[in-house]
């Protein structure tokens, strides 16, 4: 098999002790085995080396060096490391590659400077860079799931394994690992960035399609993986063309470069080190009003709706394997106006309906409705699990017949993402025997129109009815946004002169005519 590329491996004093120092001295002098000489990894880590080893000689830390004819593909090496192979939308035309296995970049630049021979080590939480143990694998799964949640509305595959090209507009690599002091800043600097990128590098031919997340700047606490995931989405957002969401004072001066959000929410393009619920935002950026979702839709395209929202298009729930078991389904709310329907038939009695967003990493704060052929039976808004607003559930007494569960967003901006839905009938005894759930049969009578959702009630339920004005005002409805097409070359944002109150100049004509009034900025 053809060797695809070289693998980065940190060989520390543990490996030296196993192999023997004299073995390493001989090995490092053999150009057939080592492409680069030994590079010092840094005084902040245990003593060790960073060695670039061709895949034909990639070693098991506690085993023998492979022979000349044991060449492995990159995919085989990833599998040998124990890398979880994860994809959010296989076959999508664009790819966001989360690279946990190490990367070498010959040259790279951003607004801060130009850099050469950048080596990102593989993500490593146990000083064994050649293999991912169970805890490291779970870390990778969690981070991937959170980033996939952020990009779920768009036509892009978030993956942990990718072996294709990185042509402009096609694929973006996120190199995850190491510390900012490895190459980006000096130890003497007080600033310790957690990630870096170059604006619009995904589309511009003179820029590299790679961004960096310095995973070692974070601790091993569980909540830190939330920060790592948000930093990935944040830096990738820059590469796609998004700018920071900022806070201005009354004179139009930036007083916070990274919008801190509220007590329960933070914009992804704001403070990337927040551990609360983060979403894309409609708000002020460095150069004007920025509609994150409209912009990413323009750059990446929209994901196709996965479930219809009425009787004819609703998806049958998956049937349980046991009598009176739980019927289940799953999906994605791609837009705040989306409604996903799931049909089922029951012999009647008490049922529990529940919708859960992505645990710990949800963007979606869901709402659930139960419909019969006669109309709405019951509904429930999102509730708090003690840490996050991520689920909605209801209990109902129902007659035998056909029903539909409808999953929705609560409607505020950026409230989209993954969910699971379940219907659990309570046990019904008939002559001493449990009654089975009948097969799903599509009802033929359409329900009445569902009631309108009150955003005021939602914010009152969240205990944050004011929210400083801007966040709440920005979520009272969809602005009349028509982003410029990719061929037009304009990015859909507004610009405002410093101190301006009602005057708005736009890079794309006729965008957001009343936006500043809506946001309370007029």
Residue 483 has pLDDT above 90, yes or no: no
- Looking at every residue in the chain, the average pLDDT score rounds to 75
Transcribe 148-191 into DSSP letters.
Answer: HHHTTTBSEEEES---S---TTTEEEEEE-S-GGGTTS-TT-S-
Across 254-264, b (16+ Cβ under 10 Å) vs e yields eeeebbebbeb
Equal CATH topology for 73-241 and 315-457 = no
Pick the residue with more confidence: 439 or 226?
A: 226
Express each pLDDT in 20-29 by its tens digit.
333 334 433 4
* pLDDT tier at 238, thresholds 50, 70, 90: very high
DSSP 379: E
Higher pLDDT, 135 or 43: 135
Range from 2-16, 367-381, 463-477 that averages highest in pLDDT: 367-381
**Phi then psi dihedrals of residue 339, to 5 deg:** -135, 125
Whether this prediction's pTM lies above 0.95 is answered by no
For residue range 283-302, list pLDDT tens digits in order: 999 889 999 999 999 999 99
Predicted confidence (pLDDT) per residue in 18-64, tens digit: 333 333 344 334 433 333 333 333 333 333 333 333 333 333 333 34
What pLDDT was estimated at residue 388?
76
Topology of domain 315-457, CATH: Jelly Rolls (2.60.120)
Q: Is the pLDDT at 415 greater than 90, yes or no?
A: yes
Specify the higher pLDDT residue, 35 or 238. 238
Q: How far apart are the first and last CA of the chain?
A: 64
pLDDT band at 387 (very low <50, low <70, confident <90, very high): low
- Select from 364, 344, 361 the least CA-distant residue to 352: 344
More confident residue, 482 or 390: 390
Spatial distance between the Cα atoms of 422 and 251, rounded to a whole number of angstroms? 51
More confident residue, 175 or 256: 175
- The yes-or-no verdict on residue 362 having pLDDT over 90 is yes
Residue ranges of the domains in the chain?
1-72, 73-241, 248-302+464-518, 315-457
Is 73-241 a CATH 2.60.40 domain? Answer: no
């Amino acid at each position: 098999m053809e060797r695809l590329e070289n693998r980065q491996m940190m060989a520390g004093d543990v490996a030296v002790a196993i192999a023997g120092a004299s073995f390493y001295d001989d090995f490092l002098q053999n150009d057939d085995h080592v492409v680069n000489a030994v590079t010092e990894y840094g005084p902040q880590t245990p003593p060790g080396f960073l060695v670039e080893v061709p895949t034909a000689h990639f070693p098991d830390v506690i085993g023998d060096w492979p022979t000349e004819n044991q060449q492995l593909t990159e995919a085989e090496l990833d599998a040998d490391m124990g890398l979880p192979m994860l994809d959010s939308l296989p076959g999508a035309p664009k790819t966001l590659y989360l690279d946990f296995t190490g990367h070498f970049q010959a040259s790279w630049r951003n607004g801060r400077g130009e850099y050469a021979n950048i080596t990102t080590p593989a993500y490593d939480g146990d000083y064994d860079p050649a293999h991912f143990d169970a805890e490291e694998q779970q870390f990778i799964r969690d981070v991937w799931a959170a980033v996939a949640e952020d990009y779920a509305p768009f036509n892009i595959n978030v993956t942990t394994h990718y072996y294709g090209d990185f042509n402009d507009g096609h694929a973006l690599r996120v190199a995850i690992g190491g510390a900012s002091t490895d190459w980006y800043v000096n130890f003497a600097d007080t600033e310790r960035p957690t990630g870096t990128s170059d604006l619009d590098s995904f589309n511009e031919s003179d820029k590299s399609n790679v961004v960096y997340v310095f995973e070692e700047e974070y601790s091993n606490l569980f909540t830190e993986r939330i920060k790592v995931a948000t930093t990935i989405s944040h830096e990738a957002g820059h590469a796609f063309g998004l700018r920071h969401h900022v806070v201005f004072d009354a004179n139009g001066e930036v007083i916070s470069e990274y919008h801190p959000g509220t007590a329960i929410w933070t914009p992804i393009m704001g403070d990337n080190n927040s551990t609360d619920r983060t979403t894309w935002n409609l708000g002020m950026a460095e150069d004007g009003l920025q509609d994150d979702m409209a912009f990413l839709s323009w750059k990446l395209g929209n994901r196709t709706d996965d479930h219809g929202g009425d009787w004819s298009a609703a998806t049958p729930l998956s049937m349980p394997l046991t009598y009176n078991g739980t019927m289940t389904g799953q999906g994605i709310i791609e837009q705040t106006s989306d409604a996903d329907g799931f049909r089922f038939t029951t012999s009647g009695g008490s049922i529990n309906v529940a919708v859960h967003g992505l645990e710990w990493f949800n963007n979606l704060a869901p709402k659930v409705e139960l419909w019969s052929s006669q109309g709405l039976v019951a509904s429930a808004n999102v509730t708090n699990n003690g840490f996050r607003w991520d689920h909605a559930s209801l209990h109902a007494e129902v007659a035998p017949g056909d029903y539909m569960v409808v999953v929705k967003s609560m409607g505020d901006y950026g409230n989209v993402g993954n969910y699971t839905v379940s219907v659990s009938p309570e046990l019904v005894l008939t002559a001493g025997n449990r009654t089975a759930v009948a097969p799903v049969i599509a009802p033929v009578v359409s329900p009445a129109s569902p009631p309108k959702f009150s955003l005021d009630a939602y914010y009152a339920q969240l205990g944050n009815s004011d929210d400083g004005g801007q966040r709440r005002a920005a979520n009272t409805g969809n602005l009349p946004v028509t982003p410029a097409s990719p061929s037009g070359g304009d990015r859909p944002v507004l610009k405002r002169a410093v101190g301006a109150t009602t005057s708005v100049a736009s890079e794309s004509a006729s965008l957001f005519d009343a936006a500043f009034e809506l946001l309370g900025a007029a």
